Structure 1
């Protein structure tokens, strides 16, 4: 990375992903000259630690970005739509973690392991979009397969942790779990049904085509990131009673034939991937192993014997880290190294 120090802002600093962004900037030794922490007016007065110093949280406003080089946004879609253009107008490059800008044709959508060259497109609006957490981990694993063999079709089922919904969902799972164990009636607030000891095939709102918005995010974002609208993709997204870590069962059909040994070697060499695959020893990726890690874990790697040129993968990652904060910082690292 270049030796230039940058003025950085984190919008949504007091949330789970914002907190992780601050920790990531420190642990990855990002070249921070100054750090501005922004949140809603409710959080003004709080302090958060960065490199041993307490930094006061300021209110996120249209005037927050004067002199800021890079802003990492995790404040939600509404605030992103409201404030990211102001940041860009002030000469700041925004890396946004919400869904607000992902499908904008003038905004690059980036997974650094899949399409790092797309970062250059930030000049269009001064904004770069961070993909959906489930899309990110899937494409970390599938990008090298696509580059080598070409992806023809993807069938993915996700098993997503409640932390993807936020702190209230984490608390609800905790409270409901205790209620069930105590033989009491659990109260549902965040989700329409009980999540404790249950699975909900329902993430985000249902659309007219019968899919949820989350499922269509995976379809549309994958095609944009890989630059191939011809890839057939279908998704089913499920919320499961896990606190952290999303898991995915992925079946892919490739355009070219492959050897499974070569696929394994390809994945072992792929950046951001850690192959965890020894079924005989009961070794395979699990959410509890991915939690707190930046790698995407891939296992249960096997040929699909029901059709030609197809394989199955089990892909697991920490949705707060690689699925959100870390991917955002990796994009900022490319910006710092090559463009700013």
Structure 2
């Protein structure tokens, strides 16, 4: 190994960021590093001179987001199986990158980012001159944020645009925010590594991306989303998302909304497509799935994760989980990507 892992300024914890870096000329080590922090299905093959490999990565994880500044130093071909659990954005800082995903070919460079939704394989031609920012956002986090920002129902996975502009408008602002956050998380003793401030940064990145990416949702429904929701439904949704672990009852939520239980349930079915408690259960299932997808199988217990999200009947939980994700919780934990 030429180089090595760089210790980060913070350790993983509730609300705390974690930073790790690697400098190496060993392709196997670079490949394992990227699989561990991003996706287990990731494949990297050199197409240039392997002797010129100078892999460099600084990666910070903060709740549902993972930010990385990455370069290889030699031409490589990268392939990734369907992301499933995450949306992903690549922002070239130098050079260019050719991307193929779901039939779309995007030539990304410092003027244009490439966006991936969690379905379909990815193929990348990554020249040695390309250094980029890699931004991974957990699927449930971005979908909840776009849902809240639009105040409309969104489908999953969301049909996002394949790229966005980095020169003008929100794309320029968002990419600058990501770059600044990664710089701050990579340095010791900054405000960004303090849990309370880190949470605010995290929310800004997710919300900023929700407002930056292209999507088919607008002021008028496009057939993919429901009508605008009444204020009573919005109040209940805000309460659920603010405290998803709380033991909400239908009466609690109706009190927050300021209407009777039956009125709230009817409004939810009309504007959300399900009852308030069904929505809460689906949200918690998504959170369990996200947590299991990023956890170490040797250090994580499925039952403990389920209990922490309010699932006290493990048999019903396992059935609901399999119905939603097509796999058991233990399979998700074992096959995390």
Please, what TM-score do these two structures have when normalized by structure 1? 0.31
Give the TM-score normalised by structure 2.
0.31
Structure number with greater CO (CA < 8 Å, separation at least 6) is 1
